[in-house]
């Protein structure tokens, strides 16, 4: 089979899909605003939102086009193989060569886009708080993590494949599942701590109210902490992290400043709803389905040496398998995303219902409107976009559901 044109076509299709999504997104800016969220933006702010939305979208469209050109260039000129030839001829070094090259090329090409996004557009609309130093450190950290993770993952795959043959797929899927579990276990206590400061929530009325909510449901946590998110962004957030008795609840410092105690309780009760429904764990399990698809793609890419030789390699390069994977997954993931996003939206409604049951219905409506305002959300996204991409229901539908629940 002519794998080279096939992969060029695959990558082109995934980029076209991405482009189509951005275009639908761009059009959604002119959708009429539903009546129950008409008070979120005043006319001036709405105008500002439209131009913010437009600028972000134009940048995303340009980024997609550049990404397509970069991919076509690297693949059609066999650049991965040319760079790998400069590295020692061992499995691990060959792998490292390709992963390093791919990650560096992407970082260099997309650095400008990241800069435009954070330091120019977000800055212009007053969201960005990151200094040049924070921005550079964040980018370096991401680069390092990507090279490290890519090399470890594909190194593991190479070792398993070479020592055990085709059983590698089952083993690899299991190993990656355990790894993602480990990462989500570690995310709270380790990764999210890198580059942020955490302090325990101050004693007082708010903490007592939150603790009372937890005690009422027998929900044990290690701590409620405040993160200094305001150093990077003005956007608001709160999340539960960790498992078992190590669970930590993290509140952004901006959230505490922007919301009334009742609204903070409402957001908290919503997050508690996720906790009580074990939504994080369920999402992890659904990831397993995603991983199985990935396993099939992995199997294809390491079982078919001609997929590598057609791009200039002497045989299978496990780093390049990683590059090919992203092409295959780009086609598969919108399909799995469809199911996972649908479930996630369902989980959001359920968590909102929890907050309503705790008596925070009206406060939650207020909090969600504030969140939408501060996060500059799209109030009328196209249904197609919601179906494909939204892990949270649109604001007006959430508020309608809360109002309905309040009447019962
Ligand atoms: Zn939620």
Would you list the DSSP string of 84-142? HTTS-SSHHHHHHHHHHHHHHHHHHHHHHHHHIIIIIIIHHTT-B---HHHHHHHHHHH
Average pLDDT over residues 252-275: 92
| For residue 393, pLDDT beyond 80 | yes
Interval between CA 15 and ligand 1 midpoint (Å): 30
Number of structural domains found in the chain: 1
The reported pLDDT for the residue numbered 298 is 79
User: Any idea which of 34-38, 40-44, 68-72, 231-235 has the lowest mean pLDDT?
Assistant: 231-235
Q: What pLDDT is stored for residue 190 in this prediction?
A: 67
pLDDT at residue 312, rounded to an integer: 94
24 in any annotated domain: yes
Q: Does residue 51 lie within any of the structural domains?
A: yes
The pLDDT score that the predictor gives to residue 188 is 59
Nearest to 378 by CA among 13, 30, 16: 30
Tens digits of per-residue pLDDT, 372-392?
988 888 999 999 999 998 999
- Residue 1, pLDDT score: 73
pTM recorded for the entire structure? 0.78
The answer to whether position 317 is within a domain reads: yes
For residues 386 and 390, give the distance between their C-alpha atoms in angstroms, rounded to a whole number: 5
Higher pLDDT, 29 or 208: 208
CA 271 to centroid of ligand 1, rounded, Å: 6
Q: What is the pLDDT of residue 189?
A: 63
In a domain, 309, yes or no: yes
Compute, in angstroms, the gap from residue 275 CA to the centroid of ligand 1: 10
- What pLDDT score was predicted for residue 191? 66
Percent of the chain having pLDDT more than 70?
Answer: 97
pLDDT at 233 over 80: no
Task: Say if strands 198-200 and 238-241 run parallel, antiparallel, or are unpaired.
Answer: unpaired
Give 198's strand partners. Answer: 227
Cα gap 326→263, rounded to integer Å: 41
> What are phi and psi for residue 166, nearest 5 degrees?
-70, -15
Taking only the tens place, the pLDDT of each residue in 194-205 is: 778 889 999 999
Lowest mean pLDDT among 20-29, 153-162, 179-188: 179-188
> What's the CA-to-centroid distance between 93 and ligand 1, angstroms?
43
| Domain-embedded: residue 87 | yes
Q: How far is the CA of 74 from the centre of ligand 1 (A)?
A: 40
Residue 275 belongs to some domain of the structure: no
Rounded mean pLDDT of the chain? 88
Residue 14 falls inside a structural domain: yes
Q: Which of 52-66, 119-133, 232-246 has the lowest mean pLDDT?
A: 232-246
**pLDDT exceeds cutoff 90 at 99:** yes
Residues with CB under 5 A from ligand 1 (ion): 348, 351
CA–CA distances in Å: residue 190 to residues 18, 68, 152, 194: 32, 35, 18, 7
Residue 61's domain comprises 3-167+285-345
- pLDDT at residue 100 is higher than 90: yes
């Amino acid at each position: 089979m002519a794998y080279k044109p096939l992969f060029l076509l695959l990558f082109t299709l995934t980029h076209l899909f991405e482009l189509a999504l951005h275009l639908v997104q761009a059009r959604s800016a002119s959708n009429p605003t539903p009546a129950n969220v008409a008070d979120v933006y005043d006319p001036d702010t709405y105008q500002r939102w439209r131009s913010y939305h437009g600028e972000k979208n134009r940048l995303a469209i340009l980024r997609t086009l550049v990404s397509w050109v970069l991919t076509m260039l690297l693949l059609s000129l066999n650049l991965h193989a040319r760079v790998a030839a400069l590295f020692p001829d061992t499995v691990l070094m060959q792998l490292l060569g390709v992963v390093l090259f791919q990650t560096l090329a992407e970082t260099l090409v997309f650095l400008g886009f990241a800069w435009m996004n954070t330091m120019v557009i977000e800055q212009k609309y007053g969201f960005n708080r990151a200094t040049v130093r924070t921005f550079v450190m964040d980018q370096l950290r991401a680069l390092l993590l990507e090279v490290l993770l890519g090399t470890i993952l594909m190194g593991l795959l190479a070792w398993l494949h070479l020592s055990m043959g085709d059983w590698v797929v089952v083993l690899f899927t299991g190993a990656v599942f355990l790894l993602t579990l480990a990462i989500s276990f570690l995310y709270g206590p380790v990764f999210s701590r890198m580059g942020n400061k955490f302090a325990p929530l101050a004693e007082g009325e708010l903490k007592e109210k939150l603790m009372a909510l937890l005690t009422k449901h027998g929900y044990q946590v290690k701590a409620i902490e405040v993160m200094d998110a305001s150093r990077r962004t003005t956007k608001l957030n709160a999340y539960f992290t960790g498992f078992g008795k190590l669970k930590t609840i993290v509140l952004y410092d901006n959230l505490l400043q922007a919301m009334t105690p009742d609204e903070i309780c409402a957001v908290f009760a919503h997050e508690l709803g996720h906790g009580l429904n074990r939504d994080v764990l369920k999402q992890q399990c659904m990831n397993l389905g995603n991983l199985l698809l990935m396993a099939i793609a992995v199997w294809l890419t390491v079982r078919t040496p001609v997929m590598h030789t057609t791009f200039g390699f002497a045989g299978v390069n496990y780093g390049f398998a990683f590059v090919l994977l992203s092409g295959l997954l780009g086609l598969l993931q919108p399909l799995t995303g469809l199911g996972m996003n649908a479930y996630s939206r369902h989980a959001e409604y359920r968590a909102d219902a929890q907050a309503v049951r705790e008596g925070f219905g009206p406060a939650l409506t207020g909090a969600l409107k504030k969140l939408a305002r501060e996060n500059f959300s799209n109030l009328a996204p196209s249904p197609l976009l919601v179906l494909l991409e939204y892990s949270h229901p649109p604001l007006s539908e959430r508020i309608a559901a809360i109002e309905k629940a309040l009447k019962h």
